[in-house]
């Protein structure tokens, strides 16, 4: 039988296949439950550090939450499990809106050509501020920002040229810088980011300890990243520095031996730049193979406390950054 | 015993009652599942989108909703989730990996063939609808395919009722221009079983 609506034939309404509604209902209930005790399945290398890290994390969480207690994820807060990105050196990154990736998305490479961002809505001042932020954010693949103001709530609805993690990271940077630069100018807006799948408020009054960039900060960051890459023996394919407010760094490395690089050199590099990435608006790092395909990537944005890590599935066990919480056991790293 | 209405269940969900939210899931899963299918033309993907829609709804449970607008709001979430399918899947990748594998079901073959037919038919419809501007596609899918009222579609998309009317009108006009036969029954289906027979 065919249903015809508005003169156009479409298939009829169907139930889920036998048993699947119950399966999905059980799955949903399982996902809704906070799972504080079900957090830690990490690459083998990280496990020995985990006991101490977990203990430390309990203490650290409270302190970090006090300074970074803003969320991008709906603001309903309380019962959301905190996701933790745990590094090989035991440093952690706490937030409630991490995209926990174990597989790279189908489209993970951002559009190559810089985009001119169209900014609509809002006041002249809001548009000017956003223009100055997106001009200072490179690369930039955000195509449109619609500013929707309702009282003191300002929603930034962003559309982008692609769905890559780097583009999401740019959106976090712009939203965070907008909130903090507005606050610094005396505009105490509640800023929300709506980028299609993330819709949430960056809570007000929790300005993180990231100062606006001063003259020389960009150059210093460039030197720091280049030195760290040299120390780790990594081949820097591309390095973009920008100043949405503080300094943001996007680094791409190229290798013919991704497993080895992830297992050893990337750890050295991340340690050299400081695993927590504090002091930067955000850091994006990815590793591409000789064909130009991304095999690993991570991104953090301090002002929105958002972050993500993703890896080609067979290399997940080599990743120097792991997502704690809902992370199924990755396959073992193919190299020692 | 009378079952609590959506507004009551939503109020309880907002207070963190996952059982109440589970009842909303059971009540509206089929509608959202079919809507997702009609936007994607893929039953398996629609099943994943169904889970994502309700995970997103739970994540946004601080949302205050007018009485009787829970389902239209879920349609709105589904519209966004489907539109940003890759992002949605990426965001909920870990959760999707925990979905149990389907179990073999005796006598499922006929149903599977039926569903393959559905997908082919839906892909044809989507190829046509896909030539409309995106906002017209959304309105058409909600009003014509899911039979939402103008008011409910307005709630789903967060636009005024007048906008729904005008978009739907434009969508119908565009469809008539794109396919002159539009407006007549076009129930030709490909039956996979017949097509495969020599």
- State whether B4 and B89 are in the same domain: yes
pLDDT given at position A172: 86
CB nearest to B91's CB, from A2, A26, A197:
A197
Q: Which residue among B102, B128, B151 closes a domain?
A: B102
B60 and B80 co-located in one domain: yes
Under the banding of pLDDT at 50, 70 and 90, the label for residue B188 is: very low
Residues B110 and B92 in one domain: no
Residues B11, B44: one domain?
A: yes
Give the structural domain span for A291: 211-307
Structural domain ending residue among the three candidates B39, B70, B102: B102
Same structural domain, A154 and A232: no
Q: Are residues B19 and B39 in the same domain?
A: yes
B180/B193 same-domain check: yes
Contact A328, A316 (CB under 8 A): no
Among B87, B102, B117, residue at a domain's last position: B102
Write the pLDDT tens digit of every residue in B127-138.
888 999 999 999
Of A181, A202, A223, at which residue does a domain stop? Answer: A202
**Which residues in chain B touch residue A142, judged by CB atoms under 8 angstroms apart?**
none
Q: Tell which wins on pLDDT, B117 or A324.
A: B117
Segments forming the whole domain that contains residue B133: 105-198
Residue-level pLDDT at A213: 86
Using CB atoms and an 8 Å cut-off, which of residues 168-227 of chain A contact chain B?
A: 168, 195-199
Q: Measured between CB atoms, does A27 come within 8 Å of chain B?
A: yes
Q: Looking at the structure, tell me whether residues B153 and B191 fall in a common domain.
A: yes
pLDDT of residue A146: 94
Asked if the Cβ–Cβ distance from B98 to A16 is below 8 Å, we say no
pLDDT at position A114, please?
62
- Nearest CA to A164 among A8, A284, A21? A284
Residue A2 lies in a domain: no
Nearest to A246 by CA among A271, A211, A221: A211
pLDDT at A56: 30
Q: How many domains does chain B have?
A: 2
Please give the Cα distance from A260 to A335 (Å, whole number).
6
Burial (CB < 10 A; 0-12, 13-18, 19+), residue B17, is middle
Residues B128 and B47 in one domain: no
**Domain shared by A257 and A294, yes or no:** yes
Which of B80, B15, B85 is closest to B44 using CA atoms? B85
Is residue A190 located within the same domain as residue A217?
no
Chain B positions in Cβ-Cβ contact with residue A4 (cut-off 8 Å): 185-187
| Residue from A1, A19, A24, A316 whose CB has the most chain B CBs within 10 Å, to mutate | A24
Taking CB atoms and an 8 Å cut-off, how many pairs form between chains A and B? 164
First to last CA, chain A: 59
User: ipTM surpassing 0.90, yes or no?
Assistant: no
Task: Report the CATH number at residue A265.
Answer: 3.30.70
Please list the pLDDT of chain A residue by residue as tens digits (336 residues).
Answer: 445 455 557 889 999 987 889 989 999 988 887 543 222 222 222 222 222 233 233 222 222 221 222 223 332 233 333 334 444 444 444 333 333 333 344 444 554 556 789 999 999 999 999 999 999 888 888 999 999 988 888 889 998 877 777 888 899 899 989 988 998 888 888 888 887 655 566 654 444 567 788 888 999 999 999 999 999 999 999 999 999 999 999 999 999 999 999 988 998 898 888 765 678 888 899 899 888 888 888 888 878 767 677 777 778 778 887 655 444 556 778 887
How many domains is chain A partitioned into structurally? 2
- Higher pLDDT residue, B197 or A9? A9
Q: Which of A169, A202, A235 is the last residue of a domain?
A: A202
Which residues fall within 8 angstroms of residue A144, CB to CB, at 6 or more apart?
A: A117, A118, A119, A120, A157, A158, A159
Question: What average pLDDT does the structure give for chain B?
Answer: 82
Interface check B93 vs A, CB under 8 A: yes
Do B69 and B140 lie in one domain? The reply is no
Distance from CA of A92 to the nearest CA of B (A): 19
B60/A11 CB distance under 8 A: no
Q: Give tens-digit pLDDT for B120-168.
A: 889 888 988 899 999 999 999 999 999 999 999 999 999 999 999 999 9
**Helix residue spans in chain A (DSSP H):** 20-32, 47-68, 124-135, 165-184, 217-232, 258-260, 266-273
pLDDT at B21: 94
B10: domain CATH number? 1.10.1740.10
Question: How many whole angstroms separate alpha carbon A148 and alpha carbon A284?
Answer: 28
- A window 45-104, beta carbon within 8 A of B: 73-76, 78-80, 99-103
Residue ending a domain, among A155, A177, A202, is A202
State the DSSP code for A83. E
B160/A contact by beta carbon, under 8 A:
no
| Shortest Cα distance, chain A CAs vs residue B1, angstroms | 22
Question: A153 touching B, CB under 8 A?
Answer: no
* Residue B65 shares a structural domain with residue B47: yes
Chain B positions touching A20 (Cβ under 8 A) are: 47, 102
**C-alpha span between A38 and A44 (Å, rounded):** 17
Hey, which residues does A150 pair with through a beta bridge? A153
**CATH classification at residue B119:** 1.10.10.10
Percentage above 70 pLDDT, chain B: 84
Are B168 and B157 contacting, i.e. CB atoms less than 8 angstroms apart? no
């Amino acid at each position: 039988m065919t249903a015809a609506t508005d003169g156009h034939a479409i298939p009829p309404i169907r139930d889920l296949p036998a048993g699947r509604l119950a399966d999905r209902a059980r799955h949903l209930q399982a996902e809704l439950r906070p799972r504080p005790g079900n957090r830690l399945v990490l690459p083998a290398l990280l496990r020995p550090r985990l006991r101490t890290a977990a203990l430390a994390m309990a203490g650290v969480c409270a302190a970090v939450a006090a300074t970074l207690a803003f969320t991008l994820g709906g603001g309903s807060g309380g019962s959301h499990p905190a996701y933790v990105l745990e590094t090989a050196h035991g440093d952690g990154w706490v937030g409630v809106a991490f995209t926990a990736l174990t597989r790279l998305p189908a489209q993970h490479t951002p559009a190559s050509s810089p985009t001119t961002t169209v900014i609509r809505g809002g006041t002249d001042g809001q548009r000017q501020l956003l223009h100055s932020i997106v001009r200072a954010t490179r690369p930039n693949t955000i195509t449109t920002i619609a500013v929707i103001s309702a009282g003191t709530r300002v929603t930034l609805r962003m559309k982008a040229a692609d769905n890559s993690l780097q583009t999401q990271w740019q959106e976090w940077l712009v939203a965070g810088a907008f909130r903090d630069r507005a606050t610094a100018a005396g505009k105490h807006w509640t800023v929300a980011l709506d980028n299609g799948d993330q819709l949430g408020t960056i809570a007000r009054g929790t300005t993180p300890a990231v100062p606006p960039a001063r003259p020389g900060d960009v150059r210093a960051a460039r030197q720091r990243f280049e030195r760290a890459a040299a120390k780790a023996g990594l081949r820097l394919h591309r390095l973009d520095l920008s100043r949405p407010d503080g300094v943001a760094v996007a680094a791409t490395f190229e290798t013919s031996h991704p497993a080895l690089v992830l297992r050893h050199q990337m750890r050295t590099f991340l340690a050299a730049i400081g695993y927590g990435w504090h002091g930067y608006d955000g850091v994006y790092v990815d590793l591409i193979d000789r064909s130009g395909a991304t095999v690993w990537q991570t991104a953090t944005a301090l002002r929105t406390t958002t972050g993500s890590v993703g890896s080609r599935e067979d290399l997940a066990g080599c990743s120097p950054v792991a997502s704690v919480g809902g992370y199924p056991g990755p396959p073992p790293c193919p190299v020692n | 015993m009378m079952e609590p209405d959506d507004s009551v269940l939503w109020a309880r969900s907002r207070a963190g009652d996952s059982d109440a939210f589970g009842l909303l899931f059971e009540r509206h899963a089929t509608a959202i599942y079919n809507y997702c299918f009609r936007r994607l033309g893929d039953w398996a993907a629609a099943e994943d989108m169904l889970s994502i829609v309700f995970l997103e709804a739970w994540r946004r449970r601080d949302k205050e909703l007018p009485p009787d607008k829970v389902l239209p709001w879920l349609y709105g979430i589904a519209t966004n989730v489907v539109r940003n399918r890759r992002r949605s899947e990426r965001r909920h990748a870990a959760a999707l990996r925990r979905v149990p594998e389907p179990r073999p079901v005796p006598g499922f073959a006929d149903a599977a063939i039926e569903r393959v037919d559905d997908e082919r038919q839906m892909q044809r419809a989507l190829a046509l609808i896909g030539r409309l501007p995106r906002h017209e596609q959304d309105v058409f899918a909600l009003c014509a395919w899911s039979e939402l009222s103008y008011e409910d579609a307005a709630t789903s998309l967060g636009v005024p009722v007048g906008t729904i009317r005008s978009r739907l009108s434009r969508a119908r006009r565009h469809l008539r221009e794109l396919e002159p036969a539009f407006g007549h029954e076009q129930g030709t289906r490909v039956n996979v079983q017949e097509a495969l027979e020599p």
